[in-house]
Homo-oligomer: A and B are copies of this chain.
Amino acid sequence: MDSQSAIKPYVIGLDLGGTNSVFGIVDSRGDIKATTAIKTQGYDHVDDYVAASIEALQIIIDQVGGIDKIKAMGIGAPNSNYYTGTIEKAPNIVWAKQTVPLAKLFSDKLGIPVAITNDANAAAIGEMAYGVARGMKNFIVITLGTGVGSGIVVNGQLVYGSDGLAGELGHVTMVRENGRSCGCGRTGCLEAYCSATGVARTAREMLQSSDEPSLLREMDPEAITSLDVSLAAGRGDALAHRVFDFTGRMLGEACADFATFCSPEAFIFFGGLTKAGDLLMRPLREAYDAHVMNVFKGKAKFLLSGLDGSSAAVLGASAIGWDIQK
């Protein structure tokens, strides 16, 4: 910690989701000192969203001793670009259907530096600042939620690429022939198989393609979630186990490819699907060991996020604030 952060001991984190916007004021150890939240929707214009945010923020800023105690703000948000500080055409946010300069709008109001990136990049910086990647210079965070995201750190720096949008490992092509359709408009992407929705889809496909008994047959197929598959596997359901074997193996093969890129010290998994634990992680590690190049074998660690819990996304976002002035 430098002398600056002793004088300004806090950063603001904003986890900007499709439904809620959660703010936290965080110290350098990752302790959350104060939180507040507003609805993300219900504003026609980004200026109204920012004004409502500032109004809510002012209360918790005062709680920690005023804006002079705050070094910077980090925002984790969908479709956001670190280089330009903008959210670019986020389809699910009414006031961001066009490109909006959200970082600048907050910075102008608060008088502190503000940076923005997507949630997976925020998670990666969060793991480096407060989580299991402290001290690591080369690692990959893979977020397993509704989609599959990634945040990649090389030489201690987040990989933003030439345009600010790098780190989309959920969209490498894993199945080149007759692959599943993906939300990105293409087919065969890792995300189409290994997201929470991909797991549910795999379960439906396995149920349809056989008459094998399964606890999941008691449910409406369209209502099956990855949590249901996980619970069924926990009760010994063989088909549910095979769903996680399939998912873990594909993730392991994908990670073997990722190793050729940046030979990470660790792969760190983040998000709802990681609650499946060894159901997912055992076949993942086995497939990795079976497929990775010999020179990389046995080197990478496979870790679960050190930021898990309800505040993980806010912590990740706040960590971008520490990163700005490096």
Which residues of A line the B interface, CB within 8 A?
136-139, 152, 154-155, 157, 159-163, 165-176, 184-186, 253, 256-258, 260-265, 291, 293-296, 299-300
Q: A173-B291, A175-B176 are in contact. List 14 more A-B contacts (CB 8 A).
A: A138-B162, A154-B161, A161-B263, A162-B263, A165-B296, A166-B261, A166-B262, A168-B293, A169-B261, A172-B257, A176-B253, A184-B294, A186-B291, A258-B261
What is the bound-complex CA distance between A300 and B262, given in angstroms? 20
What is the bound-complex CA distance between A258 and B258, given in angstroms? 9
> Chain A: interface secondary structure?
loop
Q: Is the CB of A186 within 8 A of B299?
A: no
Among A138, A165, A166, the most chain B Cβ lie within 10 Å of the Cβ of A166
Q: Residue of B at shortest CB range from A163?
A: B263
Name the B residues within 8 Å of A159 (CB-CB).
154-155, 261-262
Q: Separation in Å of the A155 CB from the closest CB of chain B?
A: 5
Name the B residues within 8 Å of A257 (CB-CB).
172-173, 257
What is the bound-complex CA distance between A162 and B244, given in angstroms? 29
A-B contacts, 11 listed (Cβ < 8 Å)? A161-B264, A162-B299, A162-B300, A166-B262, A167-B261, A170-B260, A171-B260, A172-B257, A173-B256, A174-B176, A175-B176
Q: Is the CB of B157 within 8 A of A293?
A: no
10 tightest Cβ-Cβ pairs between the two chains A and B: A161-B263, A166-B263, A162-B265, A168-B260, A138-B162, A172-B257, A166-B262, A161-B262, A154-B154, A171-B260
What is the bound-complex CA distance between A107 and B28, given in angstroms? 42
Q: Is the CB of A173 within 8 A of B261?
A: no
Q: Separation in Å of the A16 CB from the closest CB of chain B?
A: 19
Q: Residue of B at shortest CB range from A292?
A: B186
What is the bound-complex CA distance between A253 and B171, given in angstroms? 12
Name the B residues within 8 Å of A137 (CB-CB).
162
Q: Residue of B at shortest CB range from A137?
A: B162
What is the bound-complex CA distance between A152 and B260, given in angstroms? 11
Name the B residues within 8 Å of A157 (CB-CB).
154-155
Name the B residues within 8 Å of A185 (CB-CB).
294
